[in-house]
Amino acid sequence: MKRLNLLNRLGVILSISLALSVAAYGQIAVKGETVWTMAGEPIKNGVVLVKDGKIEAVGAAAQIKIPAGYRTISAKVVTPGLIDSRSVVGLNGYLNQPHDQMALDGSGTVQPELRAIDAYNTEEKLISWIRSFGVTAIHTGHQPSALISGQTMIAKTIGKNVDDATIVPTAMVAVTIGDGGLAGQGRSPGTRAKSAAMLRAELIKAQENAAKTEAPKDLRSVIMMRIIKREVPLLVTAHRAQDIITVLRLAKEFNLRIVLDGASEAHMVLNEIKASGFPVIVHAPMMRAGGETENASMENASKLKAAGIPVALQSGYEGYVPKTRVILFEAGIAAANGLSFRDALATITIDAAKILGVDSRIGSLEQGKDADIAMYDGDPFEYTSHCTGTIVNGVLASETIR
Amino acid sequence: MRKSFLGIFLFFAAICPVLGQDKPIAFINARIIPIVGQPIEQGILLVQNGKISAVGDARTVRLSSDVTIVDLKGKVIMPGLVDSHSHIGEASGGDGSAPIQPDVRVLDGINARASSFQRAQSGGITTVNIMPGSGHLDSGQTIYLKNRDNAVTIDDLLILDKDGKYMGGIKFANGTNPIRPGGGAFPGTRAKSVALVREQFIKAQEYREKIKKAGTDKTKLPPRDLAMETLVEVLDGKKVVHFHTHRHDDIYSVLRLQKEFGFKVVLQHVSEGWKVAEEIAKAKVPASVIVVDSPGGKLEAVDMRLETGAILDNAGALVGFHTDDYITDSRLFLRQAALAVRAGMNRDKALYAMTMANAIMLDVQDRVGSLEAGKDADFIVLSGDPLSVYSHVLETWVEGKRVFNRADPVDYLIAVGGRGATTDRTVHLDCFDGDMGGHE
């Protein structure tokens, strides 16, 4: 009993997850001393009205009358719900046990047909963990550990089942060029050149299939044709500069839609990336450097931004611990290493939404968009600030002070 | 911001020849957080011959005429950070031949020129306990080092005790990491793990008894045994046991062993320490905690919490923090204290944990851990509040010599990363290893 009191005094109650069943969509007025809408200048003493899961209105408190019956929640700083642009959460669980790690199937090195939605666990504890820091949407899926490991998806951080949570069921197909994509143990691809050759062979087959009057209907051919028809982009993890250049070479040959992922050495090939027009979902600034990521820099995001390249941040894939990084913390490190506060926040809100192609729904606080909102008791990036609440789809999905 | 860095750089470049010399240097106008005692606004830190000669302000510290003045207006000075558990230096420990290897010294397997030492300098770490891994019940002896600059050999980094002997502890581990089902001499269960450790300590007690009985008669001494000699040092309290332990029952097993054999012990990681906080405090056993960004991992560590430091501190236990580098990055060590504060820990206690508490755990509190006259001149200069994400370590000083200067382009590269920042050969002794069952 004494121990319980201690916990209470500390304000660290394990988990106050609000019963999500309480009224599907509430009517909420979020008041913020500073509201970063990410669509225009931040609003001092702003209000965001939420109705039926959408943002009803945003503006200065003086201009917006809070209707009767709205639950009012106040916070020092209000931002759009955070977006993690590259994660494996939901496929990989928080247990380092084979049965809880589903972001990689080891039976093949080319498996673009594997759908993320078939493995996404909405009950995964890491989802509620990141939600308690303000994350409302994640681009998650198969991990960067095979030449083509499978598909990715975009989901909200609540949802009673995968269909309920999903925004985009097949967002991209995950490709890895470099050490991470090698099969090892004498299997192919065993080298970088072999990786490129195998990928080219797949893409040529897809071109040929797409030209047929009767296209094949097997799972792999279908998704590969969607790639070659530019309906689905490739999310290509490439860390070394040489691997990034290989990606650009293949993209040109096959006229592919590419989103660069990881890109530790992006700061060494900024001009080439800029010329390609491809966006970069750059590695977590706190990613540990070593091996092919040895030249990673905490300033990578700011250098990409300064070069005019669209950039978003990711939590990425961690094989060990932490089981997931928290995108809020990563953006803080980026903000301490060259990015302005606003630009750092953009890498986990509106710029992330644009790169993921979902900016019509999420990424900023604008009328008509999904009511995904994060609230903080101070500068969101400060180590000692707290997320005081997270609203997803108009529902107060977390009010743990964390 | 950049301009002011440049200003500091130019200023220091000008006075560089005198730094680290016998002449006294006074660092003035900074906010000084001495850890022991209250923070001093516009404080003065006086350094000479590698030691702190005075800490105070203009009213309490008298400056001689030959003193070199370094104005650190707007900056913060605090003691160099002490990392009570790290794996930098490309370290290695015991091999696969046996689960208990007290004879093995991590000292003999460290690359003193590894770039990870510079990474630690850039994070403000001046004293570090480098440990072998946790895949054994005892993977060998640990070593306490100073992050001095330009080390040629390991000798350049050692901390020597009064008798001129290098200082270090010994690493033990329980829980799942040392367990190797079907692994020959290695334990297959937790109970077997404890039995194997007890067996060795009982042998060491007998070995010590033989030495005692021999008295001055050298012919009656037992044959030299490196493992036994080390465990006798442990029994005599001359070597601290750094015990890797996660789950509450494993923590409790450490307390039980400590009670039986009376060795000095530091609980390392202590992921479920929050479940047995009162027991830890009652046993007066210090706890070195790691803060990781999310829960989960191997089964015995899934209940780790950001609140562990706060809960242990509130219960009255001595709390420190560690990087477990490569698990967390030495460059971001201060972040651990900051996240602990986020989760409810007292600010002063969190900074104490990074410095003085860790120094106590390594038995080096007489030399480092606080800014007090007579102690080693190990300190860091920060651009602002040590617990702010926006603050940077601008300088790190070890024994009166500046070993890291963010204004220097090479040091800057180490601090933020980039092309050529990391040159370590890849050796990682991850204490979170295990449990993956070949899934890695």
- Specify the pLDDT at position B436: 33
Other beta carbons within 10 Å of A64? 18
Q: What is the pTM of this model?
A: 0.93
DSSP bridge pairs for A395: A392
User: According to the model, what pLDDT value does residue A11 have?
Assistant: 45
Model confidence at A25: pLDDT above 90: no
Chain B hits for A267, Cβ within 8 Å: 418-419
Spatial CA neighbour of A36 closest among A385, A402, A303, A373: A373
Instruction: Among A143, A304, A321, A326, pick the best mutation site for testing chain B contact (most B Cβ within 10 A).
Output: A321
CA dist A295 to A264, B72, B422, Å? Answer: 6, 32, 7
Among A265, A298, A383, the residue with its CB nearest the CB of B338 is A383
What pLDDT was estimated at residue A14?
39
A18 versus B107: the higher-pLDDT residue is: B107
Mutation for testing the A interface, residue in B416, B425, B428 having most A CBs under 10 Å: B416
Question: From the CA of B86, how many Å to the nearest CA of chain A?
Answer: 15
For residue range A381-393, list pLDDT tens digits in order.
999 999 999 999 9
User: Is there a contact between B394 and B138 (Cβ–Cβ < 8 Å)?
Assistant: no
Which residues of chain B lie closer than 8 angstroms to A383, CB-CB?
Answer: 335, 338-339, 341-342, 387-389
Report d(CA A263, CA B299) in Å as an integer: 32
Share of chain A above pLDDT 70, in %: 94
* CA distances from residue B141 to A256, B75, B98, B369 in whole angstroms, order as listed: 55, 38, 15, 22
- Which residue intervals of B215-261 are DSSP H helices? 226-235, 248-261
What's the mean pLDDT in A269-291?
97
Residues in chain B with CB shorter than 8 Å from the CB of A402 are 306, 342-343
Among all residues of chain A, which has the CA nearest to that of B392? A336
In B, which residues are within 8 Å of A286 by CB distance? 329, 332
Average pLDDT over every residue of A45-62: 98
ipTM above 0.90, yes or no: yes
Cβ distance of A336 and B390 shorter than 8 Å: yes
Measured in angstroms, the CA of A231 and the nearest CA of chain B are apart by: 33
Contact state of B278 with A383 under an 8 Å Cβ cutoff: no
List the single residue in B278, B432, B439 with the smallest CB-CB distance to A101: B439
Low-confidence ranges of chain B (pLDDT < 50): 1-5, 9-10, 12-20, 433-440
- Is A4 a residue whose pLDDT tops 50? no
Q: Which pLDDT band holds residue A20 (cuts at 50, 70, 90)?
A: very low
Q: Which of B62, B145, B56, B135 is nearest to B101 (CA)?
A: B135
